[in-house]
Structure 1
Amino acid sequence: MRIRIVDAFTDRPFAGNPAGVLLLDAFPPDSRLQQIAAEVNLSETAFAHPLPAGADADWALRWFTPAAEVDLCGHATLATAHVLRTTGQAGGAVRFATRSGVLSADAGEDGAIVLDFPTAPLTPVPTPPGLAAALGAQPLSVHDTGPNVGDLLVELPDEAAVSALRPDLRALAEHSRRGVIATAPATAGQGYDYVSRCFFPRVGIDEDPVTGSAHTALAPFWSGRLGGARLTGWQASARGGLVGTELRGERTLLTGHAVTVIEGQLLA
């Protein structure tokens, strides 16, 4: 069984978000998928197999953290599309059947890949008791991101406040179904429009390096405030990564590069 490690939302190795990618003939039992994801021990490992002609999609795709299966994952979808392209198994657009419906990946400019994902619905909510203490910062606003993403989106005053976060991860895990997205406008002149950091201790990820799915909520949030459908987000983790976003109503386009860094054989 061939396995690849791909750095997503970056054009250079050892940056962005690494994902495991396994292309299979069919899905083994869920317990086996979870064991592999735990062994790989990255934010997500993607498992895909081809679907027969005439199906609604070209490949079935699932994503697992080391601790759980998730409903939506951007960086591992980007990584899977990259593997399909670089191995010659997909040339143009490819459609994935997932727990969040059919998602597509197509070629962008300069070797980038463009993902077509559902836009997360944003609902303003009161700041939950204890959230500010757990995060280590006082939110300006808090939004629920709906069932597919399952996070709280927390607005902070500026980029410095996002970079300075040192949250109490154990306490933070009590505040959403998946995690917390902290975001703020970018400091002027940085070459991107907004910043974010994403904390998912509830599903076994303390801080995710670059989170495509979170940008389906960040895109409508910042498009409404900054007045542009096309924006660029910088996820300010230790590895860091750029995500291009384009809001198209109920769909959001996510653009990024990817680099394969490891390829090997799963023996067990």
Structure 2
Amino acid sequence: MPQYRIITVDAFTKVAFKGNQAAVVAVPSDSPIDDDTMQAIAAEMNISETAFITPLMLQGPDEFKQSRVFGLRWFTPTCEVKLCGHATLAAAHALKYELGSECEKVYFETASGQLIVYFGLDNSYSMTFPADPPAPMPINDDVKTIVAGILGEYKPSIQVEISPSLRYMVVYDPTKVGEDIVQLEPKLSPEVLAAGKRESIIGVIATAKSSGHDFCSRFFAPWCGINEDPVTGSAHTVLGPFWQEKLGKTSFNAYQCSKRGGEVGLQLECNDDKDVNISGWAVTIVSGTINV
């Protein structure tokens, strides 16, 4: 029975049992795993994302140590996703501290293009992701149903936007502050789920200004098997441009205020690609092998 290295990492945190969990499976270039088995492993792990990394440029016993380019895929317990920030950070952490990477940065080839992660000090990492600026969303009955399910009500003063690439909906009530977002108790009813499917929504971000941080948020994605994701790096490719419009700045200290909670640093890059630099920390929780 084939065995693969598997590492569980808490991302966007300096301490264990905070931030967001991700499992990272190291897949040697000469021992690939098929899609169905990847999905089965992710379902078995039953955490928000499981990442699979494979060296692309080198082969042999030192390929994880010496390669700078890797294939990277992410699976929730129910489906593959296009982009995942915390599992990318976790993959970089696993490479550096568990698989012995000798590089200062790594390149991940993904469904969202090439992502670059720079290794910092003290378990810190900096990731370059494509920005996904949201735009106002036409309001219909389905949108009202989704907003009411997340915030408890719909009213015309609530700002609703949608990101074109990731299909993340942003809901912003200017009367709410960070503590209101912390206390949200979304009702993810069958009606809300059906409305989201009709609108091709992948997840909903509730956000507000926050004392001690530039803004806070929570992320709900029942449409891909995650009722609430604790800390969502990809959501900040949407939140960065959203809050740039409101605050008139390009650098942010953000906080995702789920029960586990996590700190996210953001820097919007002034380049043609409109990249977002996302920074954070990570901690190894479990390192072992999985039988497939």
TM-score class normalised by the smaller sequence? over 0.9
Q: Give me the whole-angstrom Cα distance separating, in 2, the residues matched to 1:132 and 1:47.
A: 34
Structure 2 equivalent of residue 4 of structure 1: 7
Structure 2 equivalent of residue 219 of structure 1: 240
Q: Is the 8 A contact 1:172 1:201 kept in 2?
A: no
Q: Deviations over 1:189-235 (max 9, x none)?
A: x2x11000000001110100000000000111112211221101110
Structure 2 equivalent of residue 59 of structure 1: 70
Structure 1 equivalent of residue 106 of structure 2: 94
Q: Select the residue among 152, 162, 165 that pairs with 1:144.
A: 162
SS, match of residue 144 in structure 2: coil
Q: Select the residue among 185, 193, 197 that pairs with 1:166.
A: 185
Alignment of structure 1 residues 25-36 onto 2, 5 Å = 25-26=28-29, 27-36=32-41
Q: Select the residue among 207, 214, 229 that pairs with 2:228.
A: 207
Which 10-residue stretch deviates more, 126-135 or 20-29?
126-135
In structure 2, the CA distance between the partners of 1:230 and 1:109, relative to structure 1 (3 Å rule), is farther
Which 10-residue stretch deviates more, 165-174 or 27-36?
165-174
Which 10-residue stretch deviates more, 138-147 or 112-121?
138-147
Q: Give me the whole-angstrom Cα distance separating, in 2, the residues matched to 1:22 and 1:131.
A: 35
Q: Give me the whole-angstrom Cα distance separating, in 1, the residues matched to 2:220 and 2:102.
A: 33
SS, match of residue 126 in structure 1: coil
Q: Does 1:74 align with 2:69?
A: no
Unpaired segments of 5 or more residues in structure 1?
none
Letter in 2 for 1:141: Q
Q: Give me the whole-angstrom Cα distance separating, in 2, the residues matched to 1:109 and 1:2.
A: 24
Q: Is the 8 A contact 1:108 1:255 kept in 2?
A: no
SS, match of residue 263 in structure 1: strand
Structure 2 equivalent of residue 228 of structure 1: 249
Q: Select the residue among 260, 263, 266 that pairs with 2:284.
A: 260
Letter in 2 for 1:160: E
Aligned pair count?
A: 261
SS, match of residue 72 in structure 1: coil
**TM-score, reference length from structure 2:** 0.85
Q: Deviations over 1:141-174 (max 9, x none)?
A: 0111112x22101112321221121111234433
Work out the percentage of aligned pairs sharing the same amino acid: 42
Structure 2 equivalent of residue 43 of structure 1: 48
The Cα of 1:116 is off from its aligned counterpart by: 0.2
CA RMSD of aligned residues (A): 1.6
Which 10-residue stretch deviates more, 210-219 or 26-35?
26-35
Q: Is the 8 A contact 1:137 1:165 kept in 2?
A: no
Q: Deviations over 1:58-83 (max 9, x none)?
A: 00000000000000000000000011
Q: Give me the whole-angstrom Cα distance separating, in 2, the residues matched to 1:150 and 1:18.
A: 23
In structure 2, the CA distance between the partners of 1:182 and 1:81, relative to structure 1 (3 Å rule), is same
Q: Give me the whole-angstrom Cα distance separating, in 2, the residues matched to 1:224 and 1:141.
A: 13
Unpaired segments of 5 or more residues in structure 2?
59-67
Q: Give me the whole-angstrom Cα distance separating, in 2, the residues matched to 1:267 and 1:30.
A: 16
Q: Give me the whole-angstrom Cα distance separating, in 2, the residues matched to 1:141 and 1:90.
A: 46
**TM-score, reference length from structure 1:** 0.93
